Amino acid sequence: MERLPILSLITYSPLVGAVVLFLWGNASTRAVRWIALIASGVSFALSVAMLLAFDPSQAGMQFTETFEWLPELGIAYRLGVDGISAPLVGLTTLLTLIAVIASWDPIRHRVREYYITLLLLATGMLGVFVSLDLFLFYVFWEIVLIPMALIIGVWGSANRVYAAVKFFLYTLAGSLLMLVGIVALYQEYFQQTGIRTLDVLELAQGNYSPTFQFWTFLAFFLAFAIKVPMWPFHTWLPDAHVEAPTAGSVILAGVLLKMGGYGFLRFNLPLFPEATQRWAPAIVVLSVIAILYGALMALVQRDFKKLVAYSSVSHMGFVTLGIFALNQQGLSGAMVVMLSHGFVTSALFLLVGVLYERAHTRELAAFGGLARNMPIFAAFFGFFALASLGLPGLSGFVGEFLALLGGFQSYRWAGVLGTAVVILAAWYMLRVYQRVALVRAPGEPPDPDDPELRMAITEGVPPVAGGGDADQHTPDPRTFPDVTWREALTLAPLALLTLWVGVYPLPVLDVIELSLRAILAAVTGERM
């Protein structure tokens, strides 16, 4: 049957854009931006078409493409999506498009190289989600590293080189052992069946010994755990986020971290069911630590971006908790948290970027009272802060509720502890909202009608200007213009999606359900 290879088209249209940019050496900056926009736009439009054509009543792979590549080694070009990968493909193309728009004004030097790198990154990420061949998957998995490190290292802020190298080495070290795991799996399957293949679906049919599963699980687990990142493999994340340009942070938080969660779902669980059950309790412990630790660290940050980065660690803890609770609610919750985190945290990074464009600092102490002169910004910020802390009716709540429910069913204590942390999330998110949007700006004279101030005067304490220890050279936040239409354009779709998934999550749950059930059946050994 002749069908449109839609997954290849989605994956490679950014690459085509990158090649065009590479060959067109003297393109004007304007042309460069438009080409990047068109390439990512085409990819996005195709992925929307793919999602619309996706049939949720089917548990298997859809839109599959297979070409022989290195048949003697069992390597083939195999693509396909199921209910887990299809939404992530959509998320990736959306966030790529948003990243292109978000970089429109802030990126001013080496613009052509920047967009080439960004588009290459997009192709790598999409390849990760659509590959069904372990070799192909590994190739894409590693390809992602280079452009991401370049984006951090070339277009990042002050300490960018350190952050880029740390990110690269950390994630590379993690994934190299996975390579040994992949080859070992291939060999084990060959010895059992006499078939040389790296087809994920076929390898999942194998029956591996517990010891083999134990170690191979670990090899895969390390690669994914570093990417998620789980505590204690998270140390690259705050550095990378803080130094990355806004669009880099969006992609990093929105997509790259999901590659870890996706890896667990696609590989660890179906390939190594017994090892999954053996390792699950330990991983749940790590997840709960991550949830707690991320939230506590977020509480004490003075850098806006670092705060969001640590909140990511906490949110991703819900993902791994949900996955390794090993029940339907947990898995669904993990998937929804991944999507929701993709919308909400990306939006928060965009908001930090908006402020950084105006203030050139991310110190929380430099801001205040922005709700007055930046009402639209404050509205968006309030919305996403609430979504991040898990307000019912927004997407974060649906995912975290399900993940906690799953956690509660399998490990009561994990559910209890995880739920308690939601309070911390409210604490740090509302604190930062108050700091940025509500309280007095640094240097702003106190309001004479402030009752607190009147009390202070009567008690003889000199009035303090807002802000405190912020650098005096930062611009006055009261002069900041509100978000531009282009900035609003990047935020609005994310807000809509957050609201949609929060109010009416059923279509999303429908899409993911059957695939998750198949994975769960593979792990628990039940037949569907």
What is the biggest distance separating any 2 CA atoms in the chain, rounded to whole angstroms? 88
- For the bound state, the minimum distance from the C-beta of residue 73 to another protein, rounded and expressed in Å, comes to 7
Q: Enter the tokens of residue 91.
A: 């998320």
User: What tokens appear for 429 in the block?
Assistant: 């998110």
CA 80, distance to chain mean position in Å, is 21
66 three-state secondary structure: strand
Least distance (Å) between residue 264 CB and another protein: 21
Nearer to another protein, 197 or 474 (CB): 197
Within 10 Å of residue 159's Cβ, how many Cβ atoms?
A: 12
81, 63 in Cβ contact below 8 A? yes
Residue 176 or 296: which CB sits closer to another protein? 176
H or E segment to which residue 67 belongs: strand 62-70
Nearer to another protein, 72 or 459 (CB): 72
- Minimum distance from residue 251 beta carbon to another protein (Å): 19
Angle at Cα 294 formed by Cα 291 and Cα 297, nearest 5°? 145
Cα–Cα distance for residue pair 339/91, rounded to 1 Å: 7
DSSP code, position 72: G
Least Å from the CB of residue 65 to another protein? 16
Overall residue count recorded for the chain in this entry: 528
Instruction: Work out the angle between the directed axes of helices 273-299 and 210-227 (0-180°, nearest 10).
Output: 20
Question: Cβ of residue 475: shortest distance to another protein, in angstroms?
Answer: 27
Q: CB of residue 527 vs another protein: minimum separation in angstroms?
A: 33
Which SS3 state, helix, strand or coil, does residue 468 take? coil
* Least spacing, CB of residue 71 vs another protein, in Å: 8
Which CB atom, from 53 or from 73, has the smaller least distance to another protein?
A: 73
Q: Please state, in angstroms and rounded to a whole number, the distance separating the CA atoms of residues 127 and 78.
A: 11
Q: Point out which residues bind another protein (CB under 8 A).
A: 69-73, 113, 135, 138-139, 142-143, 145-146, 150, 153-154, 160-161, 164-165, 168-169, 172-173, 176-177, 179-180, 183-184, 186-187
Spatial CB neighbours of 452, under 8 Å, sequence gap ≥ 6: none
Task: Pick the closer one to another protein by CB: 16 or 146.
Answer: 146
Nearer to another protein, 111 or 291 (CB): 111
Q: Quote the least distance from Cβ 399 to another protein, whole Å.
A: 32
**Which one-letter DSSP state was computed for residue 64?**
E
Least distance to another protein, CB of residue 201, Å: 21
Q: Are 168 and 147 in contact (CB under 8 A)?
A: no
**Closest to another protein by CB, 162 or 427:** 162
For residue 211, the surrounding DSSP H or E stretch is helix 210-227
CB of 173 to another protein, least distance (A): 4
Q: Are residues 298 and 314 in contact, defined by beta-carbon separation less than 8 angstroms?
A: yes
369 neighbors 380 (Cβ within 8 angstroms): no
Among residues 268, 293, 392, the alpha carbon closest in space to that of 340 is found at 392
Residues 296, 389: Cα–Cα separation, whole Å: 14
**H or E stretch including 208?**
none
